[in-house]
A and B are shown apart, each in its own frame.
Chain A
């Protein structure tokens, strides 16, 4: 069996699956259960010097057809329990599971003294690292904390420096996606001396409006405010931001990937795109801690089947392939090909191409025959293969000779 252990900026973990700082890491009871289930590490629900007050209700789900919680929105804040209680429970968890890293997520007001005091008090228990919560987009950001910091590169650098002055364990900066270019705050964290970054925190969101009451969802006594969006639906956004940071020379520090990781396959993608660990929350909120067993099993079998000795061999492998559009080969060409044997005649490909692509799938006069691709005009957009409900019925076949590469960047550089 492949070695699943990883090391994120000196934080060693038996597997790359961490619980993100969120409701599942609110208490020692939960983290004990999580470690018993097999989670490699946990980022504790964000600690502050004084507990905050939460509202009810707090969460809302985005459903897609019969699928529940494709995404979720939350307006819960950081821990609402006293710091000393959290620290006692962290110590108990570390005593029970010394091999599992516990990272303390921190948030406090924007003064050097406040951050130093929080670091000092938390370091009275055996923690493995800090994660600075510069990401929470709701509530705390209105108090100048969370995403309010994460959207200000100078503050990120400043606070990271303060923490690094006081901390004796690695410091991870957790980034908000609610910025124009995530590389800017990532570079600012590196500039401040962060040992790693983690991303993404949740995305500004309003999940819906109740059609009967016309109230926003979820509502607190008839009113709501924007929340943070997470869950499988945000995975593509998170993966892009992780990749953007991984390939940016100005960032250059390890990454803990977060955002929509629901199974081992998602985890592999985040690892390939440059994450060393992955953090999970929504899937646990949906199915419970037990899902980590399936994640470990799937990852382990995947590595064994590919003959890889360690999960570390995955980290960052795809990053060199993640480039600017200007560097894509304009000569590369594929066309769709429909297998008439496995085609079930739903004609989804036909109508998608006809109405939304390039009108290059033809239907034979006999409706019992499979649609046919007009390969001469097919631009290889993949839409037909995407809408096809049958696995591998529509494949994309390469049609160029494969011996030339021309990019837009080259075109621009050619003198006219």
Chain B
């Protein structure tokens, strides 16, 4: 089993990028909040955290109440305090943007949840037992959110997780200097403390059949996320030194190590994971790290703050650059051939523009494949891109099967956020509760 460096993410990866908030910062900032009515920050939060309330509780020294306000609305609110694109969500909506700096909502949220983590605070209790049993497949943000709220509603919950630890991408797929694994594991522990059973290291569809899960539970939540990074379909991609970005981050974060990377790393992709892989490579000491993206900056799914952070960390960007071949010598990466694409962002290749750029390691971060086989096994319909088809209440075509999280997000959509996954998990829990109570009535 992998060893997660929980309290001290691999020291070689450097300190957290989270801004330190001193006691004085907290007092000034918490008291600066206007406590707006029908506050736009609440509307801007996919999970609807009552931001003025949690900030007001910080201001009066009610840290327990503050943490409970956050985590009540968002079961992964501690992780979100670190990875949310707050300038596009709560902080972007803050009324102060008109005349002053927005309230540092994300930093205050981290302050309150850090308090709860350090104190070992108990925030919630399980509801009175309903006698119903729900299976949650996947212990990532959506699965944890669904499991947490189902338990609070009194349902018995078993979470099946193929990885040895819960948390999903929060635990394995986000670099530790943005999100230490201990945060995601604390959130999972909050769920476990409600009496939820975690069966980790158990892959549904492999170790246990979908039919067996269905037969032994009253309802199922599919929060299975996505799979490995798909193949580029170019020559040389099986060479040593070519990484799946998520496998790369996982190896770096867990302390398993990524071996020698050489002097030059080429990261292929323009999303959040590409940024993480690139900055992680820099922090591992690689002198030259360049991201190659087939369209322009404006089409990157990485957030502006992530792009700026990567630039500060010394990552270079080559846009309108499509990898066409990986050069291989002695079975190892020896370079990367890229072609230029049309500057209109259409990714159309400009013929004759091939050039070879140096690369000792190539990290591929071009999205993730879909678990369509698992959806087939559950008889759940999915769209042409492999996303489970759900309605607003997270119901699939099967009355007792619900879905949430990455497996329901449109590829490349900006809603593919931890906070949105959590909200969908909450919605699924509410829908299941209604379904089960209706069935019992």
Contacts and interface: CB of A to CB of B under 8 A. Distances in A.
A344 B41 CA distance: 13
Query: Closest 9 A-B residue pairs measured CB to CB?
Result: A65-B31, A351-B37, A347-B37, A344-B95, A66-B31, A346-B36, A344-B98, A346-B95, A66-B28
Given A66-B28, A346-B36, 19 more contacts: A66-B31, A66-B32, A67-B31, A344-B95, A344-B99, A345-B36, A346-B37, A346-B39, A347-B36, A347-B37, A347-B39, A348-B34, A348-B35, A348-B36, A348-B37, A351-B37, A363-B38, A367-B38, A367-B40
B84 interface: no
A17 interface: no
Interface residues of A, number: 14
B-side interface size class: 10 to 19
Contact of B34 (A346, A363, A367): A346
A345 B31 contact: no
B27 interface: yes
B409 to A, nearest CB: 26
Nearest to B29: A66
A130 interface: no
A367 B96 contact: no
Contacts of A65: 27, 31, 59
A115 interface: no
Interface string B289-332: 00000000000000000000000000000000000000000000
A344 B37 contact: no
20 contacts: A65-B27, A65-B59, A66-B31, A344-B95, A345-B40, A346-B34, A346-B36, A346-B37, A346-B95, A347-B36, A347-B37, A347-B39, A348-B34, A348-B35, A350-B37, A351-B37, A363-B38, A367-B40, A367-B43, A390-B99
A389 interface: yes
B37 to A, nearest CB: 4
A345 B97 CA distance: 11
Interface in A329-366: 344-348, 350-351, 363
Contacts of B43: 367
Contacts of B59: 65
Which of B30, B32, B96, B98 has the most C-beta atoms of chain A within 10 angstroms of its own C-beta? B98
Contacts of A346: 34, 36-37, 39, 95
Contacts of B39: 346-347
Interface string A46-59: 00000000000000
A67 B31 CA distance: 9
Interface string B12-27: 0000000000000001
Nearest to A367: B38
A387 B43 CA distance: 22
Contacts of B34: 346, 348, 389
B32 A345 contact: no
Nearest to A68: B27
Contacts of B98: 344
A204 B414 CA distance: 60
B27 A345 contact: no
Nearest to A350: B37
Interface in B74-105: 95-96, 98-99
B28 to A, nearest CB: 5
B36 to A, nearest CB: 4
A348 B99 CA distance: 16
A2 to B, nearest CB: 34
A310 B418 CA distance: 66
Interface string A66-105: 1100000000000000000000000000000000000000
Contacts of A344: 95-96, 98-99
Contacts of A345: 36, 40, 95
A255 B350 CA distance: 87
A66 B95 contact: no
Contacts of A389: 34
Contacts of A351: 37
A269 to B, nearest CB: 26
A350 B36 CA distance: 10
A203 B389 CA distance: 69
Contacts of A350: 37
Given A344-B99, A345-B95, A367-B43, A66 B27 contact: yes
Contacts of A66: 27-28, 30-32
Which of A66, A67, A367, A389 has the most C-beta atoms of chain B within 10 angstroms of its own C-beta? A66
A363 B32 CA distance: 24
Nearest to A354: B37
Contacts of B96: 344
A149 to B, nearest CB: 41
A345 B43 CA distance: 13
Contacts of B37: 346-348, 350-351
A345 B37 CA distance: 9
A377 B338 CA distance: 70
B59 to A, nearest CB: 7
Interface in B29-69: 30-32, 34-40, 43, 59
Nearest to A363: B38
A67 B32 CA distance: 11
B177 to A, nearest CB: 30
A355 to B, nearest CB: 9
A350 B37 CA distance: 8
B99 to A, nearest CB: 7
Which of A346, A348, A363 has the most C-beta atoms of chain B within 10 angstroms of its own C-beta? A346
A416 to B, nearest CB: 46
A67 B98 CA distance: 24
B248 to A, nearest CB: 43
B26 to A, nearest CB: 10
A345 B98 CA distance: 10
Contacts of A363: 38
Which of A67, A344, A367 has the most C-beta atoms of chain B within 10 angstroms of its own C-beta? A344
